[in-house]
């Protein structure tokens, strides 16, 4: 990565609770240093609608649970040099994927959410993206370059990975990360 130009970083929020993004913000004052080195070109934290081209590093929170997210993930992968799975939903499926243990879990979970508890006009909404049969971690769909496990991952760990990547080094997770 060039040392002069700012590094183009994006973050994406798929099926997760946003806790990983909260943990990202928990880098606190280190965000000031980070802001000197990066441009946040796309994120739930900034107002950009379309995922841009030529992104250097993208952190993705959340599992892939529906067709819209599936398309988004593929688009992001195509436009990003280094893709990082941020947090357990992205890394393992985690809570988002708990439904996977049920057969036809896409239908089962919709019925449990919209039909079972309803007193009147019980119906599954049709205006939302179609659920995939299984919620899946990112690397089962696209190539992922680095993983930051944790629910949520510690801000120090996120900062470590970003610092290493910005320095042009590969982060070493052994003895640092906490699985699950």
Closest by CA position to 158, among listed 14, 17, 19: 19
Scanning the chain, the segments in alpha helix (DSSP H) are: 19-25, 30-37, 67-79, 88-91, 105-110, 155-166
Of residues 41, 86, 106, 149, which one binds another protein by CB under 8 A? 149
Closest approach of another protein to the CB of residue 98, in Å? 7
Q: Minimum distance from CB of 144 to another protein (Å)?
A: 8
Decide: is 63 part of the binding site for another protein (CB under 8 A).
Answer: no
* 144 lies in the site for another protein, by CB under 8 A: yes
Shortest distance in whole angstroms from residue 6 CB to another protein:
28
- Cβ of residue 179: shortest distance to another protein, in angstroms? 4
* Residues whose CB falls within 8 Å of the CB of residue 135, separated by 6 or more in sequence, listed in order: 15, 63, 64, 65, 93, 96, 97, 99, 100
Hey, CA dihedral for 147, 149, 152, 153, is it positive or negative? negative
Binding residues for another protein, per CB under 8 A?
85, 88, 91-95, 97-98, 100-102, 134, 137, 139-140, 144, 147-149, 151, 172-175, 177-180
């Amino acid at each position: 990565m060039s040392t002069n130009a700012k590094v183009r970083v994006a973050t994406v929020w798929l099926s997760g609770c946003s806790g990983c993004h909260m943990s990202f913000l928990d880098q606190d004052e280190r965000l000031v240093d980070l802001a000197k080195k990066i441009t946040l070109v796309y994120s739930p934290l900034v107002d950009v609608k379309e995922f841009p081209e030529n992104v250097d590093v993208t952190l993705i929170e959340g599992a892939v649970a529906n067709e819209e997210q599936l398309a988004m993930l593929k688009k992001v992968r195509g436009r990003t040099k280094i893709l990082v799975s941020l947090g357990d939903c992205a890394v393992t499926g985690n809570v988002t994927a708990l439904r996977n243990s049920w057969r036809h879990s896409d239908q089962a979970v919709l019925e449990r959410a919209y039909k079972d508890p309803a007193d009147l006009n019980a119906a599954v909404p049709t205006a939302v993206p179609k659920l995939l049969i299984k919620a899946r971690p990112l690397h089962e769909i696209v190539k992922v370059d680095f993983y930051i496990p944790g629910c949520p991952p510690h801000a120090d760990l996120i900062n470590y990975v970003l610092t290493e990547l910005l320095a042009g080094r590969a982060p070493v997770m052994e003895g640092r990360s906490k699985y699950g």
